[in-house]
């Protein structure tokens, strides 16, 4: 995994610069999401690694499946990846690109662990409070963790906010021991 991220980083940075210069961050985000999904497809994965198909043939297939045969930048990007046998790291390229895009837009990832599922209204209310607390636009990823008993635990970068029942019980136990 670490090796594929190392391989993917220069490609992600290059496509990010291209997207930023063209004022097309969102468009490239969508393109990379689609290309990564194509690369993850089992049939496509078999074709990518198959020596019966040339790099040009695999690139043409990717371009046709992307539906953007007229986009010269996309065609060139796929061609370079195919020629360098890097189509298999498209998922990592897309992930790194999203990180770069979020940093450019000032958006941070927030891991929200909740004891119970949150509906849209609850999540929206929570995110507005958390954005005020952390001073940044947040992109939430919600995970259910019944061990929290109640409340939420939020991680944004290296900052942690524990408003869970389990966290409060642990804090009380520590206070009683001291």
Answer with the one of 103, 138, 164 that is the final residue of a domain. 103
Q: Are residues 30 and 93 in the same domain?
A: yes
pLDDT band at residue 69 under the 50/70/90 scheme: confident
Q: Are residues 131 and 76 in the same domain?
A: no
* For residues 68-89, average pLDDT: 93
Q: Are residues 28 and 63 in the same domain?
A: yes
- Is the distance from CB of 114 to CB of 45 less than 8 angstroms? no
- Is the distance from CB of 47 to CB of 58 less than 8 angstroms? yes
- Looking up residue 89, the CATH number of its domain turns out to be 1.10.520.20
- The number of domains in the chain is 2
What is residue 28's predicted lDDT score, i.e. its pLDDT? Answer: 96
Q: If we measure between CA atoms, which residue out of 99, 125, 110 comes closest to residue 161?
A: 110
Rounded-to-integer distance, Cα 175 and Cα 178, Å: 5
What is residue 98's predicted lDDT score, i.e. its pLDDT? Answer: 92
Q: Are residues 88 and 14 in the same domain?
A: yes
Domain that holds residue 65: 2-103
Range with lowest mean pLDDT among 23-27, 76-80, 102-106, 137-141: 102-106
The secondary structure of residue 147, as a DSSP letter, is G
Examine the pLDDT at 64 and tell me if it is beyond 90: yes
Examine the pLDDT at 120 and tell me if it is beyond 70: yes
Q: Are residues 83 and 155 in the same domain?
A: no
* For residues 57-86, average pLDDT: 92
Answer with the one of 103, 118, 135 that is the final residue of a domain. 103
- Predicted TM-score (pTM) of the model is 0.70
């Amino acid at each position: 995994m670490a090796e594929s991220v190392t391989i993917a980083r220069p490609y992600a940075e290059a496509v990010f610069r291209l997207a930023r210069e063209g004022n097309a961050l969102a468009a490239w985000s969508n393109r990379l999401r689609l290309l990564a999904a194509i690369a993850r497809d089992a049939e496509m994965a078999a074709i990518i690694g198959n020596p019966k198909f040339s790099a040009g043939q695999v690139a043409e297939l990717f371009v046709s499946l992307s539906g953007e045969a007229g986009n010269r930048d996309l065609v060139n990007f796929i061609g370079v990846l195919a020629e360098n046998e890097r189509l298999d790291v498209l998922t990592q390229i897309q992930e790194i690109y999203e990180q770069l895009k979020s940093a450019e837009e000032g958006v941070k990832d927030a891991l929200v662990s909740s004891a119970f599922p949150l509906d849209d209204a609850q999540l929206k209310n929570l995110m507005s409070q958390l954005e005020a607390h952390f001073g940044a636009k947040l992109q939430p990823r919600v995970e259910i963790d019944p061990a929290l008993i109640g409340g939420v635990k939020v991680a944004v970068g290296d900052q942690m906010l524990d408003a869970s029942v389990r966290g409060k019980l642990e804090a009380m136990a520590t206070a009683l021991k001291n």
